[in-house]
Amino acid sequence: MFAFVIPSKNPTNMLVDLVKRIREKSSDKIIIINDGSKNGLEFFDQVLETENVLVLKHAINMGKGAALKTAFNEILVNHPNIKGCITLDSDGQHSVTDALKIAKILSTGEDFVLGCRTFTKDIPIKSYLGNTISKKIYAFILGKKIKDTQTGLRGLSREFMKDCLSIKSNRFEFETEQFVIAVRDKINIYETDIQTIYIENNSGSHFNPLFDSLRIYFILLRYVSVSFATFLIDFLVFSISFGLGASVSWSNLLARTASIVFQYNASKKYVFKINVAKKYSFILFVAYVYLSGVVSVIIQEKITSSTGLNVLLVKILVESILFIVSYSFVGTIVFNKKEVS
């Protein structure tokens, strides 16, 4: 058994129509979250007339992410027989046939399923540009290509719902954090094609293309920020040490030592948001940092001796390349939540 989860703010008759269409094809639980609505309250009363429908209510508008977490918690606490959920938007832009398709995929054992739309230039410009830009940013920072980064039609297993309850974000960026968790914990992101439906140029969406995009990109950029701060500490100590006469090797050693505690704690707390890291995570982290330092020294000395380039310039170039490798290793090996002990 699965649940259909529908966050809704100020609904229209489209919500009632969506519930009817779901019930025509499935007897599974339908959970609707009234996210602090001020208008359209009568439609919540109407959907309750349908069998096996539950409406949860927020006293104030808390955001789509908070609404989804409310539903996830309800399922995990009070419905042990529900194996997973399918999330849909309440504005009628998701096909029930596609939702059932995702439920079928979930039943095969997948943890995270995305219903991916096909983007052409005749769709609303905010959706086309938002998804195009997001795909490139996600691919660079997460190292994962995602076809439709803004889809609201998703399937989540019970286990993945539980993982998502730890996400602190409460608005549209909550759905971005789902990608972060999936990549971090090596959860397969299963993508399946769905219909591309836009009603009245997507006017029913509460997504603000400017402010909500900035919130989403801020989440992704925090990964870069910690690494950049670590790089500045490393570079500052290296520059001072080298300027005082230390060799490249000793300067790198001192720089790594100075920055390692900062990077470990900042990565754990602010980047990967792990409260309790696995037993040997710090040792593993230190080993990697010093190993990458040795590799960095070897490459730097090779380049400077063969090209005569400025040592500090070479340092910047080499560390920039190692940054990408470092993020991937730290995220998937050191702070992999599934391996926490």
**What is the structure's pLDDT at 119?**
72
CATH 3.90.550.10, domain 2-209, yes or no = yes
Mean residue pLDDT of the chain comes to 84
> What's the pLDDT tens digit per position in 100-145?
999 999 999 999 999 998 876 666 666 666 667 777 777 766 777 8
Q: Does residue 210 surpass a pLDDT of 80?
A: no
How far apart CA 155 and CA 188 sit, in angstroms, is 12
Q: Which of 4-18, 110-124, 135-149, 246-260 has the lowest mean pLDDT?
A: 135-149
Percent of the chain with pLDDT over 90: 44
Phi-psi region of 291 (alpha: psi -120 to 50; beta: other; left: phi over 0): alpha
Best-predicted range by mean pLDDT among 32-41, 117-126, 167-176, 308-317? Answer: 32-41
Q: Are 250 and 241 in contact (CB under 8 A)?
A: yes
Per-residue pLDDT averaged across 19-39, rounded?
97
Per-residue pLDDT averaged across 199-211, rounded?
51
Q: Where are the domains of the chain?
A: 2-209, 219-339
Q: Does residue 17 surpass a pLDDT of 90?
A: yes
**What is the structure's pLDDT at 259?**
85
**What is the structure's pLDDT at 336?**
63
Better pLDDT: 291 or 191:
191
DSSP reduced 3-state for 314: helix
How far apart CA 173 and CA 70 sit, in angstroms, is 16
Per-residue pLDDT averaged across 213-240, rounded?
77
Letter for the amino acid at 160? F
- Would you place residue 341 in the very low, low, confident or very high pLDDT band (cuts 50, 70, 90)? very low
